[in-house]
Structure 1
Amino acid sequence: MNLLPARHRPGSLLPDLTDWWNAFTPGLAPVFGNHMLRVEESLTGDHYVVRAEIPGIDPAKDVEVSVHAGLLTIKAERTETHEEKGHSEFNYGVFERTVSLPQGAKDEGIEASYATGILTVSVPVGESKEKVTRVDVKSGE
């Protein structure tokens, strides 16, 4: 398995610093509004696989996976309520993560599955056919 570095959504402000901060201050994450999904990416043979940690959701109604313009986006919404002896506590939030697909990724044949709190998205990857266009340079004299 070849692990690839996570590529973050364009425009996200210092996502690595945010992950580091939340590792040391887990109780303060909601104060700063961080709702980023943790993902693991790998390129295995002819598939690009993204695994996202999303425990406590119903995958049929709480998760949306989409591909557009070479970007894979995973959105999830969690709403949990725990009631016990007159005390209730809830945990909710909208989580989103967008990663760039590798060259040669195909829009057809993408599969997604959810088990034990992990969403796995598998994207077929074919040969990258990069087109090189030669541009003639004209003399200005």
Structure 2
Amino acid sequence: MSMPMIRERRGLVPELFNWLDMPLAALQSPAAQPIKFEDYVKDDRYVLRAELPGIDPDKDVDITLSNGLLTIHAERRDEQRDQQRTEFRYGSFTRSITLPSDVDENDVKASYDKGVLEVSVKLADTKQQEKHIQIESTPRQES
């Protein structure tokens, strides 16, 4: 299935037409979006950064690592009040990622700063010496 093409429209309500072009897009809340990840390797560690603004990392985040699968579960409970109205934003988010095969699951660190959760896992020392493989020859059978 291909992604629908968004056509540019000019007029009073172009965004409404863009929503109609994408099935169910108007029904999705911003809270329904998955956790956004970025990952990279730095100083012999696999680093995963996740956008999690507006959460309390001590109460609202659970990180698990099992058999090479890192799972982040977060729950947002946010209330904004002003003189005329109150707005709640809440929801729970879960996302898993398969880690590289050479990570050391016993050396995992996590930190949270300014809405970004960072999890790093040490990469195991995988420097192996080159191994030469001997080719066995099989005797030819003559017919």
Give your verdict on TM over 0.5: yes
| 1:111, distance to aligned residue in structure 2 (A) | 0.3
CA contact (8 A) 1:79 1:92 kept: yes
1:51 pairs with 33, 49, 52, which one?
Answer: 49
Map 1:95-110 onto structure 2 (within 5 A). Answer: 95-110=93-108
Q: TM-score, normalised by structure 1?
A: 0.67
| RMSD of aligned alpha carbons | 2.7
| 1:77, distance to aligned residue in structure 2 (A) | 0.3
Separation in 2, partners of 1:72, 1:61 = 19
2:61 pairs with 50, 58, 63, which one?
Answer: 63
CA contact (8 A) 1:35 1:96 kept: no
Separation in 1, partners of 2:26, 2:81 = 21
- Correspondence for 1:29: 28
| 1:27, distance to aligned residue in structure 2 (A) | 6.2
Asked which structure has the greater RCO (Cα within 8 Å, sep 6+), the reply is 1
Separation in 2, partners of 1:39, 1:55 = 13
Per-residue CA deviation, residues 54-75 of structure 1 (Å, 9 max, x unaligned), is 0001111101111011100011
SS in 2 for 1:37: coil
Listed as ranges, the gaps of 5+ residues in structure 2 are 4-17, 20-24, 128-143
Listed as ranges, the gaps of 5+ residues in structure 1 are 1-13, 18-23, 130-141
Per-residue CA deviation, residues 29-66 of structure 1 (Å, 9 max, x unaligned), is 328x8341000011224110000000001111101111
Separation in 2, partners of 1:42, 1:28 = 34
Separation in 2, partners of 1:64, 1:117 = 15
| 1:62 counterpart letter in structure 2 | D
Per-residue CA deviation, residues 1-23 of structure 1 (Å, 9 max, x unaligned), is xxxxxxxxxxxxx9xx7xxxxxx
* Higher alpha-carbon Rg: 2
Separation in 2, partners of 1:53, 1:29 = 19
| 1:84 counterpart letter in structure 2 | D
- Correspondence for 2:122: 124
CA contact (8 A) 2:32 2:91 kept: no
Question: How many residues are treated as equivalent by the alignment?
Answer: 108
| 1:83, distance to aligned residue in structure 2 (A) | 1.2
Identity percentage of aligned residues: 38
Q: Which runs of 4+ in 1 moved over 4 A?
A: 24-28
